[in-house]
Chain A
Amino acid sequence: MSAGPPPTGDAHHAGEQGETDLPLPEDQARAAEALREAFSRLSPQGSDAWNFLAAFTHLGDRYGPYHPGASALSDSLAAGRSVDRRPGPLDRLRPRRERAGRAPEGEKTDLEEAMGHVVEAFRFLSARVETLEGRLAAEDRPVDDAAWLVPARPLGPVAGPVAAHLLARTPGGVMLHADCGEGDLLRVLHERGAQAHGVEPRGAVALRAIEHGRSVTIAEASEYMASRAEGSVGGVVLSGVVDRLPLHALLPLLARSRRVLRRGAPLVVLAEPAATVDSRDAAARDLVDGRPLHEATWELLLQRAGFVEVAPLSDGTGEDRRIALTAVAPS
């Protein structure tokens, strides 16, 4: 089984001295930040400090018992209030005219204050639903370590032709590569003066790319693209990720790719042919939903996702034998 990262990294890009050498401090800092980001992305509340549940709980806390059902003390105190007919917390919701005293001039009544909390609760609810929708949309992940089970093949010699295609067609802006592996393509693009960013779900692989000076986010491509602004990318390359996602997840991935691409910006899909996929080990075949698609199917998918000018990569992939299709986000 191919799960698990290789135990050691490549030689350090500055020192070329061996596995125990640490990267440059600035690369360490970026790698450390990437690791932190990768984890914070997994928190269910996202960036919302408080969600609607807390807001409603807050209401219950203000107008209900302290620990309903769990505290003999608070249950007893609540029961005592009802027997004595003394004002309880919920009495605060009654109009003031039914109670002694009125709200001082310029102050909110208790009802107005309570409604303010209800509005606050719905505001939190709205934010929470938005967060959940975003996360659910990115949840097409067969198993947590799918990327390790079906590791993306490095681009190797294909990186040159792909970079050339991107640079020839891009309207400008950062190039995005998912799954970028150790950053072959990012390096080539960088050497040719382009700004390039990678997405790689295998953390240890991403770490090596970052330690070699590449800009990489540890994430699934779908999740990352969901977080990017519309029209913010000058080119997208999809490799690896397209070989492990099920068909129903490929369509949203292509849709998101189109959304983040600038008008007229290129997309390149590099997919493994059936022969390569058939060589996967048993666990990978069983656990990972991706299956090989024919080149004609990829053309159809790209067209249905709204891309135009769908065509094979002009230079082809030579001995590499991968399916390489290019497309353009419509202007």
Chain B
Amino acid sequence: MSGIHHFVPVLHRGDAVGRHTLRLREATRARGFPSEIFVDTVDDDTASETVPVLSYADMAQPGDVVVYQFATASAMAPWLAGRSEVLVVNYHNVTPPELMAPWDNHLALGQLRAQGDLRLLAARTTLAVADSAYNEAHLAAAGFGATAVISPSAALEATDVTGTREPDAALRRGTHWLAVGRVSPNKALEATIAALAVARAHGESDAWLQLIGKPATDSYVAALHRYVAELGLADVVQFAGHASDATVEAAYAHADVLVVTSEHEGFCVPVVEAMAAGVPVVAFDQGAVPEVLGGAGVLVSDKDPYALAAAIAALRRDGPRRNAVIAAGRQRLAALELGSAADRFVDLLVPLATLATTSS
């Protein structure tokens, strides 16, 4: 029987694409289709969930639909482009290499290759699904024809930030700025740090910043540490690194604001996590963040530390406005319908599978 199979270079249980892929497989199987996750590099932690990609050549059935999770460069892209199955690309964004190049050329080169992979797949793809309209525009620019937008299905799976929570008593007092996500140049965390320096010099002397996220490249993290030291903020910026779900949950429970200064985001999962946790979001008006926020946050159009610091201070001081932003966040979260995203994704795949089976 023909199936709908999912392809991802490597399946990490801890990352958003990995969790999303697992969800899609379950949703596909729930519709009665055979469905496996094929990987190029086997992760020991998820080996029982995956099948080595080279096995697919023997398992392929006429009428199969293959869904490729695209977030990095991979040999899978040209390999899938050379096969005959109906191909669906699920695009999670590629960071522009120019943002990474000053920090890590290897990573930048990988991003450059990923851009090439995307163009290669464009002509071969029956349907491309993006996380956001922002990402969909990238697909159109790369030459994809049929496209759709569906939010990542597992955006809120990493951390259960909803419900009743107790903040971690060990977290310090003062206005708690929180930034969550990979510590990567495209996140422009230096802009958050610069704004913190400005805020502390102008009436927000108890503000402190917690950065939670896995480092993308050591050089960038080292520079952030040095920047923090130079600005005299070593005592008020906490680099929490890759944190457990419990730590992230406690951080959201305690935080006064989620600050997002990313220059490039294809979706920005922390924004929806903050909405779920009742933490207001203050962000630069960049990438997919305004789209995901949907008006339920504070956008700073000028990438200026003074403007950002002023926006955060104004929100902290205006209780009713802050409560309105939080309430709007919860409404926006409901409107995103993340819970049904996997099913809606499979809704798009089923007709393709039916058509492919008929044609074969």
Contacts of B169 in A (CB 8 A): none
- Say yes or no for B172: interface residue by CB 8 A criterion: no
Q: How far is A300 from B78 in the complex, measured between Cα atoms in Å?
A: 68
Contacts of B42 in A (CB 8 A): 72
B99 smallest CB distance to A (angstroms): 11
- Say yes or no for A38: interface residue by CB 8 A criterion: yes
Q: How far is A45 from B41 in the complex, measured between Cα atoms in Å?
A: 30
Task: Pick from A48-56, A104-112, A235-243 the stretch touching chain B.
Answer: A48-56
B105 A53 Cβ-Cβ under 8 A: yes
Q: How far is A49 from B97 in the complex, measured between Cα atoms in Å?
A: 10
Task: Pick from B133-141, B142-150, B190-198, B349-357 the stretch touching chain A.
Answer: B190-198
- Say yes or no for B243: interface residue by CB 8 A criterion: no
Across the two chains, which residue of chain B brings its CB closest to A73? Answer: B75
Contacts of B197 in A (CB 8 A): 35, 203-204, 207
Task: Pick from B12-20, B153-161, B251-259, B304-312 the stretch touching chain A.
Answer: B304-312
Contacts of B202 in A (CB 8 A): 9, 19-22
Partner of B105, one of A50, A67, A73: A50
B305 A148 Cβ-Cβ under 8 A: no
Tally A residues with Cβ within 8 Å of B: 56
Q: Using a CB-CB cutoff of 8 Å, which residues 59-74 of chain A contact chain B?
A: 61, 66-67, 70-74
- Say yes or no for B76: interface residue by CB 8 A criterion: yes
B227 A72 Cβ-Cβ under 8 A: no
Q: Using a CB-CB cutoff of 8 Å, which residues 21-56 of chain A contact chain B?
A: 21-22, 28-29, 31-32, 35-36, 38-40, 42-51, 53-54
Partner of B219, one of A44, A53, A54, A148: A44
Contacts of A38 in B (CB 8 A): 227, 230
B306 A54 Cβ-Cβ under 8 A: no
- Say yes or no for B40: interface residue by CB 8 A criterion: yes
Across the two chains, which residue of chain A brings its CB closest to B236? Answer: A4
A124 smallest CB distance to B (angstroms): 9
B103 A5 Cβ-Cβ under 8 A: no
Q: Using a CB-CB cutoff of 8 Å, which residues 112-130 of chain B contact chain A?
A: 113
Contacts of A204 in B (CB 8 A): 197, 200-201, 231-233
B306 A72 Cβ-Cβ under 8 A: no
Q: How far is A62 from B151 in the complex, measured between Cα atoms in Å?
A: 36
B226 A144 Cβ-Cβ under 8 A: yes
- Say yes or no for B215: interface residue by CB 8 A criterion: no
- Say yes or no for A58: interface residue by CB 8 A criterion: yes
Q: Using a CB-CB cutoff of 8 Å, which residues 227-244 of chain B contact chain A?
A: 227, 229-235
The verdict on A145 contacting B305 (CB below 8 Å), with A39-B194, A42-B227 known, is no
Contacts of A50 in B (CB 8 A): 101, 105, 108
Chain A CB within 10 Å, residue with most, of B42, B52, B103, B306 = B306
- Say yes or no for B245: interface residue by CB 8 A criterion: no
B109 A58 Cβ-Cβ under 8 A: yes
B29 smallest CB distance to A (angstroms): 25
- Say yes or no for B335: interface residue by CB 8 A criterion: no
Q: How far is A250 from B102 in the complex, measured between Cα atoms in Å?
A: 30
B190 A45 Cβ-Cβ under 8 A: no
Across the two chains, which residue of chain B brings its CB closest to A9? Answer: B201
Across the two chains, which residue of chain B brings its CB closest to A60? Answer: B109
Tally B residues with Cβ within 8 Å of A: 47
The verdict on A36 contacting B194 (CB below 8 Å), with A44-B219, A72-B41 known, is yes
Q: How far is A75 from B297 in the complex, measured between Cα atoms in Å?
A: 47
- Say yes or no for B81: interface residue by CB 8 A criterion: no
Partner of A53, one of B41, B106, B222: B106
B205 A61 Cβ-Cβ under 8 A: no
The verdict on A145 contacting B232 (CB below 8 Å), with A43-B103, A70-B41, A73-B40 known, is yes
- Say yes or no for B53: interface residue by CB 8 A criterion: yes
- Say yes or no for B203: interface residue by CB 8 A criterion: yes
Q: How far is A42 from B230 in the complex, measured between Cα atoms in Å?
A: 11
Q: How far is A9 from B205 in the complex, measured between Cα atoms in Å?
A: 10
- Say yes or no for B225: interface residue by CB 8 A criterion: yes
B205 A73 Cβ-Cβ under 8 A: no
B259 smallest CB distance to A (angstroms): 15
B256 smallest CB distance to A (angstroms): 18
Q: How far is A70 from B9 in the complex, measured between Cα atoms in Å?
A: 10
Q: How far is A51 from B225 in the complex, measured between Cα atoms in Å?
A: 24
Q: Using a CB-CB cutoff of 8 Å, which residues 182-218 of chain B contact chain A?
A: 190, 194, 197-198, 200-203, 205
The verdict on A66 contacting B230 (CB below 8 Å), with A19-B201, A39-B223 known, is no
Partner of A71, one of B41, B103, B225: B41
Q: Mark A188-209, 1 if CB is under 8 A from B, else 0.
A: 0000000000000111110110
Q: How far is A8 from B201 in the complex, measured between Cα atoms in Å?
A: 5
Which of B's residues lie within 8 Å of A, judged by CB?
9, 40-42, 52-54, 74-76, 78-79, 98, 101-103, 105-106, 108-109, 113, 190, 194, 197-198, 200-203, 205, 219, 222-223, 225-227, 229-235, 304-306, 310
* Closest A-B pairs by Cβ, 6 of them: A20-B203, A203-B231, A5-B232, A144-B229, A42-B223, A54-B105
- Chain A to chain B contacts (Cβ below 8 Å), 23 pairs: A4-B232, A4-B235, A9-B202, A19-B201, A22-B306, A35-B305, A36-B190, A36-B194, A39-B194, A42-B227, A44-B102, A45-B105, A46-B102, A57-B109, A71-B74, A72-B52, A72-B54, A77-B79, A144-B225, A144-B230, A148-B229, A201-B230, A202-B231
Which of A's residues lie within 8 Å of B, judged by CB?
3-5, 7-9, 19-22, 28-29, 31-32, 35-36, 38-40, 42-51, 53-54, 57-58, 61, 66-67, 70-74, 76-77, 144-145, 147-148, 201-205, 207-208, 211, 218
List 16 extra interface pairs beyond A54-B108, A73-B75, CB under 8 A.
Answer: A5-B200, A5-B233, A8-B201, A8-B203, A19-B202, A20-B202, A20-B203, A31-B198, A35-B197, A40-B102, A43-B102, A43-B223, A61-B113, A71-B9, A71-B41, A72-B54
